[in-house]
Amino acid sequence: MKRQVYVVAGAIIKDGKVFAAQRGDHGETKFKWEFPGGKIEPGETPEEALARELKEELKINVKVHELITKVVDEYETQVLHIDTYRCTLISGEPTLTEHLAMAWSNKDELDKLNFSKADAVTLEKIKKEYL
């Protein structure tokens, strides 16, 4: 039986652009672009987990807003449950601590980034409703 992994991701939207980061060379989605976030710890709400993860990974403070999408994606070793929320930047500038690269992208620029297949639905919704 595959391991079930629950993660939250943040689509940080500012001035008609959304923030994305490129993963490192580990895991089944290595080098893919993503909306950053991470695992929910016991006792945390998804919103609390997302704010904590973005502070740890990118050194920023965000306000977590509504849920954009809930996606389930199956990989060789795990089933990934990804809840993506709209976020706004409160303070700090994104600083890479775990990712290889970062970008603020408009609707057209997003298509040039190599996201994992799990993010397809989320990308379309963000492009249609938020950018």
Closest CA to 36 of 124, 102, 91: 102
Q: Max Cα separation, the chain?
A: 44
Residue 48 pLDDT more than 90? yes
Task: Provide the residue range defining the domain that includes 64.
Answer: 3-129
Q: What is the CATH number of the domain that holds 80?
A: 3.90.79.10
Residue 68 and residue 84 in contact, taking contact as beta carbons nearer than 8 Å = yes
Rounded CA separation 3/16 (Å): 37
Confidence band for 41, pLDDT divided at 50, 70 and 90: very high
Higher pLDDT, 85 or 30: 85
Tally of domains in the chain: 1
pLDDT band at residue 119 under the 50/70/90 scheme: very high
Is the pLDDT at 7 greater than 80? The verdict is yes
Q: Residue 28 above 90 pLDDT? A: no
Q: For the residues 20-46, what does the mean pLDDT come to?
A: 93
Percent of the chain whose pLDDT exceeds 90: 89
Q: Phi, psi at residue 2, to the nearest 5°?
A: -75, 150
- What's the chain's average pLDDT? 95
Q: What is the DSSP string of the chain?
A: -PEEEEEEEEEEEETTEEEEEE--S-STTTT-EE--EEEPPTT--HHHHHHHHHHHHHS-EEEEEEEEEEEEEE-SSEEEEEEEEEEEEEE-----SS-SEEEEE-HHHHTTS-B-GGGHHHHHHHHHHT-
> What does the pLDDT look like over 58-106, one tens digit per residue?
999 999 999 999 999 998 888 999 999 999 999 999 999 999 999 999 9
Indicate whether this model's pTM tops 0.85.
yes
Q: Would the CA dihedral through 77, 83, 89, 90 be positive or negative?
A: negative
